Amino acid sequence: MKRSLKPIESLPIWAKENGIILNGVTLAISPSGYGTGLVTTARHSKPGSLFIQVPSHLLFSKGRVWELAQEDEDLAQILAANGEFTQTTRGTILIFLLMQIAHTSPDLLESGSERLPIGKPGPFAEYVQYIQTETSLPTFWSGEDTDHFWGTSLERHHVAKMRSLATEFEQFKASCKDLHWAEIWLGGEERGCLTFQDWLTVDAMWRSRAMDLSGEAGDDCRECLVPVMDMANHTPDGIAAYELAVDGNGKKCAELRLDMDLAPTLTHQGGLMPYQGANVVRKGSEITISYGNIKGAAEMIFSYGFLDHNLPDARSMMLGWKLPEDDPLRFEKVAALDLEPGIQIYTPGGAESSEVCFAGAAVWAMSINEEDGLKIVRNTEPPSSSFQQNDNCNDPVLPLQTPSDEDNNNESTSYNLFFKGTLITSKSHLLDILKHDRAALVFRTRAYAYVLMRVEEELSRLASSHPSTDEDDSTNAEDEKEGSSASSRARICQQLRHLEITLLSKAAEYFSAQISTLIEHPDVVNYSILLEQGLTLPELSDAEQWARFEDEHDERNRVGYVSALEEKLERLAAPGRREANGV
């Protein structure tokens, strides 16, 4: 649907009319060249100095939207019609944003039309008129632009996201088709006004503007939209911090304040200068915040459309992962624990540290087998959910295959997973059990081997998918002089490719070193001997039995098994081979 937009210069007037406090702050062109941003109109030097305060009725969280629905029959109907989707914060907010845009859309308000506004307009319906469509986000890129990130983790995320957005949009329309006003929105290109582009628009608004508030005032606004405050641009060391607080009247509010812990790290160009021993924010300086210094490079591009220039590596990246075909229980494991696809690789200590970690419960689940004490029991209770959500950003992710793919499409089939007689109730429970098991180092070795295999595959894929030629680089250089968005996107993707190669190279080196150390550990060696003899750990359950077993195998035998383990791990890392069961 067509959008009605207002000039950003009038936003301070709207803010004042709706009870937002702007303390020496206005909206203006960013001094740093980031478009529109928050700029000071006065000098600030007091630690914790207030920049912006937004009252609670303008904090648009899931709870706030459902409160509004109690007085808005149309909003209540559309939320109820979308059932499971509106049980998530993201689902609730996306539908709310659609209605706000519709309130002022020329398609619904054109003179002489029978198309009447749906729902009760409120202050946010006017505020969305100040929000430009976030065309810098990859969901709005052309096919030529998306070619630049082929081979990176952003490619996989983009494909999955576009597919899930299309599915969501179709499900949304199907859920609303019986509402009495559905024809106004959903009547098709000729009669209706709602398109897939509108769904992309509200998704981009939420993804790029949602703020995570926390504080003593409560946590029901942990994910919400905060008008005006969400106009703050990003720098790695933002000078301001936001939080949920309580105003002078004891009412909940959101506040943006000067953060002196961050401010001293900035330069004069960033808006700070030393003044009588204190840090002073000058008049005309830009107020910036950090969008998250732990977010991966691909996530920054995907959610905000840009990358920090000085990143040493990708920080974090998500790798796709195909279930090992030689695991006969792979589908049952996925169903029993509702496993998400993918492996997250990240550097907990930053670029200066050599340590690399991974997160992915599916890897641990595939690292245990029946000979380790695993048992999976089939029952007839329905699965816990029909689709999965990413806990970090509430975005749908593509599910792994489940047993229903091979089990006569019987959707009522579900499974319980037991490990050494203990029912595993969750993914975190499984990780805790394996962490404290006598064979913990064995399971870690297997997991590291799976991850290393995937890291090396991804490195190879990145190396073979470099898109640029000398001619392309020359063209991009000319475009960059003209400031074209196409050139900017190509440059960002080139930077992403370099950062991900750096992170993956570090990960490959780290996991290789860890495996080399682990396979020589007595616990790993003895466990391999045990499996070779056809025994299982449950048969050697107590410490006395295990000690007797260890005594029977001297150092010479262990050395021999180390060599055998090394050969098996080499086969595991080879393309198309996954022989972890022997470790």
Which tens digit of pLDDT belongs to each residue from 373-419? 999 998 865 544 433 333 333 333 333 433 433 443 445 578 999 99
Tokens 């859309």 belong to 105
pLDDT tens by residue, 200-257: 999 999 999 999 886 554 456 678 999 999 999 988 888 899 999 999 889 999 999 9
| Residues contacting residue 164 through CB under 8 Å, at least 6 positions apart | 395, 396, 397, 398
Query: Domain spans of the chain?
Result: 15-59+219-291, 61-212, 316-349+361-440, 444-573
Question: Whole-angstrom distance between the N-terminal and C-terminal Cα of the chain?
Answer: 58
SS (H, E, C) 297-331: HHHHHHHHCCCCCCCCCCCEEEECCCCCCCCCCHH
d(CA 272, CA 258): 11
Burial letters for 163-194: b for 16+ Cβ neighbours within 10 Å, e otherwise? ebbeebbeebbebbeebebbebbbeeeeebbb
3-class DSSP assignment, residue 270: helix
Question: In the prediction, which pLDDT does 123 show?
Answer: 94
pLDDT band at 269 (very low <50, low <70, confident <90, very high): very low
**What is the CA angle 417-418-424, rounded to 5?**
70
Between CA 267 and CA 158 the distance in angstroms is: 36
What's the whole-model pTM score? Answer: 0.79
Q: What is the pLDDT of residue 134?
A: 79
pLDDT at 291: 81
CATH 3.40.50.300 at 15-59+219-291, yes or no: no
The confidence score (pLDDT) of residue 466 equals: 66
pLDDT of residue 120: 87
According to DSSP, the residues that pair with 101 across neighbouring strands are: none
Q: How confident is the model at residue 7 (pLDDT cuts 50, 70, 90)?
A: very high
Cα 256 to Cα 290: distance, rounded to the nearest angstrom:
12
Least confident of 174-178, 191-195, 267-271: 267-271
